[in-house]
Amino acid sequence: MKENKLIAEFMDRDEYYQGMSEERAKRIFNYHTSWDWLMPVVGKITRDKKYRENEYREHLMDIVPYGHKEDVYDAVVEFIKQLNKES
């Protein structure tokens, strides 16, 4: 999943992804299927002060308490994509 690579880069785990087949990466990086993988990403986004005024962060914060894993995952991906556009 291309979005999992995007999240891995955001979490500074991209070095693990290098040279890895897409199939193996799907088995290892489970941001799209596991709360255990997804919630540390949410934590990094919501706790870092430099993201406090980001509208996509606010959207993510609104979704987390009520959202399904897929909705939270999509919000995380949108946050990172927007962040990358701003860089």
pLDDT in tens, 63-81: 999 889 999 999 999 999 9
Q: What is the pTM of this model?
A: 0.84
Amino acid at 29: F
pLDDT in tens, 2-25: 788 889 889 986 666 666 676 776
The secondary structure of 37-70 as a DSSP string is: HHHHHHHHHHH-GGGTT-HHHHHHHHHTTT--HH
